[in-house]
Amino acid sequence: MAQSNQSEHPPAGKKVADSQVVMNELVLPNDANLSGNVLGGRVMHLMDLCAGMAAMRHCRGVVATAAVDNLNFHHPIKVGEFMILKASVNYTDRTSMEVGVRVEAENPRTGERRHTSSAYLTFVALDENGRPTLAPPVKPQIEVEHRRYQDAGKRRLERLARLGHKR
């Protein structure tokens, strides 16, 4: 039976900047509802892709989405606007990674941007057999990364408590 690398030494730590992803999308009529606002499901899909790429860059392997926390839509994004998605790995545990995603809308005529939504997504690193495997630790470098790391650790404990896990 093939064995996952759970018993191996943890991989070396990685900087947040090494896995950050920025995606830009032009909102087209096919992405929108009858009011001309991008569909929430489209935003969620792009957030999952952007966060997944950050997680894959971080662990340099396959990942699976395990959870999405607190996705709220603050402002609509209109047809013809740019949707900018930014993702960073905030925290890692043994096999899991929390990735924060921020979505902004940009008016292409004025350059004005507004924050439209944010979420935290949890991914699990997978080995070649599709089993959880060790994720490299994240190594925060600057103050904002340290704050995000600490906050993510608290969210992880809250998430585990909601699921009835003791740790």
pLDDT in tens, 55-65: 999 999 999 99
CATH no. for residue 59? 3.10.129.10
Listed in sequence order, the DSSP H helices in the chain are 40-59, 143-162
Does residue 7 sit within a domain?
Answer: no
Does residue 5 sit within a domain?
Answer: no
Instruction: Name the least confident of 78-82, 133-137, 155-159.
Output: 155-159
Quote the domain boundaries for residue 152: 14-162
Does residue 6 sit within a domain?
Answer: no
Count structural domains, the chain. Answer: 1
pLDDT in tens, 11-30: 678 999 999 999 999 999 99
Does residue 56 sit within a domain?
Answer: yes
Of 97, 89, 121, 116, the C-alpha closest to 105 is: 116
